[in-house]
Chain A
């Protein structure tokens, strides 16, 4: 679906302030995948995702969407931005309309769709993120933090994207709000069969939800593989300012002490199964 071929990006290229941000990034993002991107602050995660819908033009390399170079002269990047929806950090600051419904309609109404279609899309999107009709006429500013964020996601969903990219959608939310958002994202992915790219600082969250993990470090892809395999490298992840879920350290320590576990765990459920098996509890 999306293919990045040796993408390089240098900020303010050709000036004294030149600063490399991405280096030879080659990636494939397939249909229906749930992908996580992790990396310390300044590792290039945000720059990378801004390339995915053509907000930023690479200074080297190519990006293909369904086989076509997105920077070709006759390629419509305006249309691309409705196919690859970006939900930025703290998206609630981007809500601006007077009612929830109008805010969600903003995206599709820019796509020159018939009025009825716009309303239908907003309705569907709000339903998907779990915002009830009782809130349609409420000002977005009167919602709770988790609700605001779901409305912002609905705004992107209403454009019916094929890929949705979320930059730290759970930052600053309490455990309950966090679970609400992640459950909604997972449900949307399954129901609409869309591709989800999740940028996160929470190792526990990516371990629980994503299938494939991309680790960025200093503008390069350091690891790219099934989530479980990537967390095997927890010692190296720490060296680049990251970590693994707590249960990963726990299972590694137990193995070290001679408990015969089949490998490390990345979620509480997985660790529970392993420990049940090893103690012979059914």
Chain B
């Protein structure tokens, strides 16, 4: 679905007078191989290059070096830009910056309209997309009256209506309350499971990562760790070196191991922790 080889992106930094201050290499030799139907999370501190990857996948940025293929299209070829954006839709952090219409269903229709989809098709696509994200009841509402989580679901519906193969989400839950976060994460997992849509989730919340198929950790424009959540979170020291966090249960298990308490590596959920702990220290 997404394949990158030695992908690099550089931009020129200028001071206020426009003099060149230097060249920043935001991406530095990134290899990616994301298969159809994968649910992949990208972690990394601010400035690690993860959002740049997202923009490359959406052909908002062109590679300086290397190649990137999205759904078989080369992102450096201008004539394929629309094919690429239709294959890989993007959802951003701020729900208020990406809704354009004054009525929910018109907002969802905006994408397919721009693709030149016939009206009847648009109507059925919008109905399907809103159904999929559980927002049908709000189709005639104004987006202004929705909660953050609902707005993000409408933004996802807008992408869905373009029938993408892949959705890239750049910190979609950063501005949401706990409930809104749950709604959005549950929605994208459903789309992945039931519709086979490839998901690329960029996030700072470690607990959103534990249910993914694969985690990619970025630092300094490079991919520095790659693996299943369990493999990644079994390497707590490395995670911390890259200025990231562990989910609370993972951290706790890790600390307890240092104390000599027998806990397995890479505990990812409350249930796993409870089972491991009770089997060792519970009443017989």
Residues of A at the B interface (CB closer than 8 Å) are 39-42, 139, 144-146, 171-177, 201, 203-204, 241-243, 245-247, 249-250, 253-254, 257-259, 268, 271-272, 275-276, 278-279, 281
Contacts and interface: CB of A to CB of B under 8 A. Distances in A.
- Which among B46, B243, B255 has the greatest number of chain A C-beta atoms within 10 A? B46
B46 A174 contact: yes
Nearest to A207: B248
Contact of A254 (B179, B245, B255, B277): B277
Interface in B14-45: 16, 44-45
A49 to B, nearest CB: 16
Interface residues of B, number: 42
A258 B279 CA distance: 12
A279 B47 CA distance: 42
Contact of A40 (B45, B177, B259, B271): B177
B207 A246 contact: yes
Contacts of B175: 171-172
Contact of A259 (B16, B176, B255, B282): B282
Nearest to B13: A142
A201 B252 CA distance: 22
B45 A174 contact: yes
B256 A276 contact: yes
Interface of B: 16, 44-47, 93, 147-149, 171, 174-180, 204, 206-207, 243-245, 247-249, 251-252, 255-256, 259-261, 270-271, 273-274, 277-278, 281-283
Given A246-B270, A271-B252, 7 more contacts: A39-B177, A144-B46, A177-B46, A241-B177, A254-B277, A257-B282, A281-B260
A257 B255 contact: no
Contact of A253 (B179, B260, B270, B283): B270
B274 A250 contact: yes
A242 B249 contact: no
A247 B147 contact: no
Contact of B249 (A139, A171, A175, A246): A246
Contacts of A146: 46
Contacts of A173: 46, 204
Given A172-B93, A174-B243, A241-B178, A253 B259 contact: no
